[in-house]
Structure 1
Amino acid sequence: MSGVESCKTIGIWMSEKKSQKVNWKELINACTNHGYSIVKVDLERPLEDQGHIDVLLHKLTDIIAAADQGDSKASAVISRVEQYLSNHPDITVIDPLDNVRILLNRYCYYSILQNEPTFQNQGIFTPTFAEFTTNDTEMNAAIMRQRGVVFPVICKPTIAHGSKSAHEMVVIFNEKGLSVCRPPCVVQSFVNHNAVLHKVFLIGNRYHICKRPSLKNFYASEDLEPIFYSTGEVCKADSQSTLSILDPQDKADIRMTLNEEKIKSVIRVLRREIGLLLAGFDVVIDNETGDHAVIDINVYPSYDNFPNFFDHLLDCIDETVYRNRFSNGDSSHRMNGLVNVCSLQECVEFE
């Protein structure tokens, strides 16, 4: 792309765990083809001493989450990063830390989805939810009733990143089961969806959809005990969890089809309201209504199955640098077409 020739260096920071999953040879080749070199950022050293960078590509979610919860070491790291970026406003950040913070709190981003007026007429929704800040079961049940949350519910930590516990969930079938909730947490009405989850991965205006196993259908019951599970155990591509096996009475239900126009509507809202280039969200289809429920959003998810991920990533970086330098515009408000990179052999622009 013309206008980005002077942009030569991408500074990258991610956790060691995520770094080990990266195909660095493929990433370096993609960067070279786009005219970039890579520098691994060391957060333990002064950033000013690590050379000039034009783009900061990061996954600082866990450190930001820890800092926001009062971890002094994490707070010091994030303060240094924010001061460095303030001193160098010409650096393109993917993604801005304040935008990332929005997705660290489930109650926050569920509220954004719930308050989106355009969803109601399109058959798109986020299931009713409530936040618990106390262990008082009676008070929490009253909060649920006030907010229209009905059993069964999924109980999730309010903080969506920062520890393994952020992915530990509980299915709760009745009021007495609320005693297992550990605040701060969010309870969300469970939507029966025939054990099929659709994961949508975003890179700027490009998206890719994968189908994954999910929880089977559940119903309110005074007799059932809470079910504890981890999303990694149930919703991974190769998961063999018994929680994903439909009961016999559910197998005759009609099979719901994903509506790609609804997916594009969700993407446009997320880009407008949250403004992240690297994100993903989970959609389930209500097996009674066919409405599409957005049940979670993630920062910089795993892109393992995203076709030609690094090429699309570098194209997105090029486009963002170009906009920042020559348009003085906010890229989150300038998305026109959406490109589905999975269902078509060649990318096609959707208006």
Structure 2
Amino acid sequence: MSSPRFRIGYALSLKKERSFILPSLVDYAKLHGIDFVRIDPLLPLTDQTPFHCIIHKLYDPSWVQQLQDFTSQFPDVVVVDPPELISRLLNRDSMLEVVKEVKVPQGDERIETPKQVVVNDLDVVLKNGLNTFSDLGLKFPIIAKPLESNGSAKSHQLCLVSNDSGLKGLNAPIVLQEFVNHGGVVFKVYVVGECVVCVTRKSLPDIGPEDVKKLDAVSSFSQISNSGAQGDDEGNVEMPSLEFVMHVAAGLREATGLRLFNFDLIRDSNDHNRYLVIDINYLPGYAKMPNYEPFLTKFFLDVVQNRTVGGAFSSSYVNENEVVFC
């Protein structure tokens, strides 16, 4: 008797499909009984069945409504993840609010978020400069991020602002966020159901008082990255403790209700027990994660075979600059 096969429908932009549904994933999953099926969001979902599971990253209201209608008609088809839960991550203000719900055991390591404020009217800010938010303790340099975080090219236009003049080039609505020196390294933590993988990536270098004076009024992240400024050597970076990463990942999974996401974690250069979550992304670039094919395949098998996908992490190990729980 042949083993059962499972159809995983995916509704993604062409760009996301090309970066996520790679031949290596399709081939690996096929060997383990999973077939990926492209969903056309312009056609009725009911005409494209059967599906055992649907993954998606489209935000058009008509698609969201169609997906909701479909799940009402076919409640046994698992949707990863519900649109109403994903929507919380599409706004950089509400996105980091979930971090406040994360509880980690009392110890040396702490989890926080950077100070930030949403600006809807730039005229008010331009009149008084950063003094407008003196009560928050924001000071230059600051990071300016579009309020929306929907995966569009515009949502990725992040920049570093070094003085009041730099504020003039911004467009509201925008988030002004505290810049915290973090050794030029970010810990990218990928969550795939019960599994979490933590890897290091290069980030913005530390900026001292004298460095601020040398910066342009406003600089895109790509400008700074290409300037040759150096942070810590990734190969010599001390990873966060296994237990700490586990608790933060599990806490965010519970707070968001999501099963496929990643978050960016930095460590304060002036306080190595202070960690900050600076970004959370739904259905991120998993292909950049080491061995993403078996992780994703295991996750989908867990989902379609009705195995637990919300339990505790286990079987941890470390491989140099990589931390894995599964």
Shorter-chain TM-score category?
0.7 to 0.9
Residue 272 of structure 1 is aligned with which of 251, 254, 268?
254
> Matched residues in 2 for 1:187 and 1:243: separation?
25
Give 1:40's aligned residue.
Answer: 38
> Matched residues in 2 for 1:339 and 1:59: separation?
30
Give 1:17's aligned residue.
Answer: 15
> Matched residues in 1 for 2:324 and 2:297: separation?
18
- 1:130 aligns to 2:117 (yes or no): yes
Give 2:226's aligned residue.
Answer: 241
Q: Secondary structure at the match of 2:181?
A: coil
> Matched residues in 2 for 1:105 and 1:225: separation?
28
- 1:301 aligns to 2:277 (yes or no): no
Does the Cα contact within 8 Å between 2:89 and 2:95 map onto a contact in 1? yes
Change (3 A) 1:243 1:349: closer
> How many residues were matched structurally?
312
Change (3 A) 1:23 1:108: closer
Residue 139 of structure 2 is aligned with which of 137, 147, 150?
150
Q: Deviations over 1:29-78 (max 9, x none)?
A: 33333323332111111111112111002222xxx1xxxxxxxxx32232
User: Root-mean-square deviation (CA), in Å?
Assistant: 3.0
- Larger deviation, residues 300-309 vs 195-204: 300-309
**Partner amino acid, structure 1, of 2:219:** F
> Matched residues in 1 for 2:181 and 2:13: separation?
35
Change (3 A) 1:38 1:224: closer
Normalising by structure 1, we get a TM-score of: 0.78
- 1:52 aligns to 2:41 (yes or no): no
Does the Cα contact within 8 Å between 1:106 and 1:159 map onto a contact in 2? yes
Does the Cα contact within 8 Å between 1:199 and 1:211 map onto a contact in 2? yes
Give 1:227's aligned residue.
Answer: 218
Change (3 A) 1:256 1:26: closer
> Matched residues in 1 for 2:229 and 2:6: separation?
47
- 1:31 aligns to 2:61 (yes or no): no
Query: Which residues of structure 1 form unaligned runs of 5+?
Result: 65-73, 235-239
Q: Secondary structure at the match of 1:293?
A: strand
Does the Cα contact within 8 Å between 1:205 and 1:339 map onto a contact in 2? no
Q: How does 1:149-298 map to 2 (within 5 A)?
A: 149-219=138-208, 221=212, 224-230=215-221, 241-242=226-227, 244-245=229-230, 257-260=238-241, 261-290=243-272, 291-298=274-281
Give 1:85's aligned residue.
Answer: 71
Give 1:67's aligned residue.
Answer: none
> Matched residues in 2 for 1:112 and 1:139: separation?
31
Identity %: 26
**Partner amino acid, structure 2, of 1:169:** L
Higher relative contact order (CA 8 A, sep 6+): 2
